[in-house]
Amino acid sequence: MSDYAVSLLVRIGVEAFVALSAYLLLVIGRVSFGQQAFFVIGGYAAGIATALYGAPLAVGIMVGAVAAGVAGALLSAVMAPVGGIYFAAGSLAFGELVRVALLSFHYQVPVGADLTGPAGADGFRGVRALFTGGVSATAFMLAVAGLVALTFLAIALLLRSRWGEAMRMVGEDETASASLGVRVRRVAALTMAGAGALAGLGGGLFVHYATYMEPGHSDVMLGVHSLAYAFIGGLGTPLGPIIGVALDIGLLESFRFLAGYRMIVFGGLVMGLLVVRPRGLLDEVAVHRLSRLVAWGRR
């Protein structure tokens, strides 16, 4: 497989985590413009663990996910009761706060001959655990793909469980679900922590593949894109956001011949898709039909 195809697949895998993170919040009816913050928190934490303290790659990536999950839990203390447009704006403000704060975050430690670590606006360079560990790009891509598949399975199972039921109830109507005994605040807080950890996992994977991360990676455009992915691929299944990412990156790459008009064509496609299928390609109805088709095939 060519280097280009590998890098494209890694990009799709990494962004799939941010898209799944935004999707989890959509399930509980929260529209977040701020998941990019957790992506960057996870990336910085994972990079600090491996590059500054010599943690093994897998441990470092875990540290990133946990750090972003803790950040999500902390944010939920303030934002769990907030809904609607206020949640969207609050998460946007949080994302930008993280970006601006990282611009003046310096934490450098001498590693070997030179200083390594986050250096404010210059970003965090020299995260080389992937290469010093001798992991090939293809092996890493396969690991990312495996993690995406595992995460998809975990979310799909979660959504079928009683917990998932409670999450969907909160997403439909908070008052009604509270009156039926669902602890809305707790469901929202746990979902925010989980969503943070997912985005942080993506960040930890990204920082090791790219060997660097900078405050600019907490661009609000990443957050809004990952939100849009669920609406492109479909809200009926956690496969939707993954399909959305693959479509976006795949289509944009294949539109290279349209240089200068790519976003106009792509924006138009998304706009048209939303008119025809307002809940994405794989919406609840499509998922239901597909699962019946599979059940029928088995008979």
Partner 1 sequence: MVDFLQALVDGVMLGATYSLLGLGFTLIFGVLRRLNLAFGPTILVGIYAGSHVGLAWPGALWAVVAATVVAAILCGIYVERCSFRALARQAPVVSMISTFAVWMQLQELVSLFEASRTMPYPSPAWLPALTVGPILLRSDALLMWSGATAIMLALFVLLYRTRFGTAVRAVADSSEAAALMGVNVSIIGAAAFLLASTVGGLAGVLIAQSQQQVTPYFGLWATVKGLTAMLLGGAGSLPGAVAGGVILGVVETQTLWHFGGQWRDLASFALLFLVIALSPRARSEPTL
Instruction: State the residues that interact with partner 1 by CB under 8 A.
Output: 29-31, 78-79, 81-90, 92-94, 96-97, 100-101, 103-104, 171, 174, 220-221, 224, 227-228, 231, 260-264, 266-268, 270-271, 274-275, 278-279
Nearer residue to partner 1 within complex by CB, 83 or 164: 83
Q: How far is the CB of 292 from partner 1 (least distance, A)?
A: 25
Nearer residue to partner 1 within complex by CB, 6 or 166: 166
- Measured between alpha carbons, how far apart are the two ends of the chain, in Å? 39
Q: How far is the CB of 274 from partner 1 (least distance, A)?
A: 5
Is the CB of residue 48 less than 8 Å from the CB of residue 116?
no
Q: How far is the CB of 153 from partner 1 (least distance, A)?
A: 27
Nearer residue to partner 1 within complex by CB, 39 or 87: 87
* Integer CA distances (angstroms), 243 to 19, 47, 94, 113, 274, in order: 10, 28, 27, 44, 15
Nearer residue to partner 1 within complex by CB, 89 or 286: 89
Is the CB of residue 233 less than 8 Å from the CB of residue 244?
yes
The pair of three-digit structure tokens given for residue 9, joined into one six-digit string: 């697949």
* Integer CA distances (angstroms), 132 to 57, 126, 176, in order: 10, 11, 54
Q: How far is the CB of 210 from partner 1 (least distance, A)?
A: 23
158 vs 144: CA distance, rounded Å: 21
The burial of 271, by beta-carbon neighbours within 10 Å (0-12 exposed, 13-18 middle, 19 or more buried), is given as exposed
Q: How far is the CB of 266 from partner 1 (least distance, A)?
A: 7
Rounded (to 5) percent helix, strand, coil in the chain: 75, 5, 20
Nearer residue to partner 1 within complex by CB, 110 or 267: 267
Q: How far is the CB of 11 from partner 1 (least distance, A)?
A: 18
239-267 as b/e, with b when 16 or more CB fall inside 10 Å? bbbbbbbbbbbeeeeebeeeeeebeeebe
Nearer residue to partner 1 within complex by CB, 87 or 209: 87
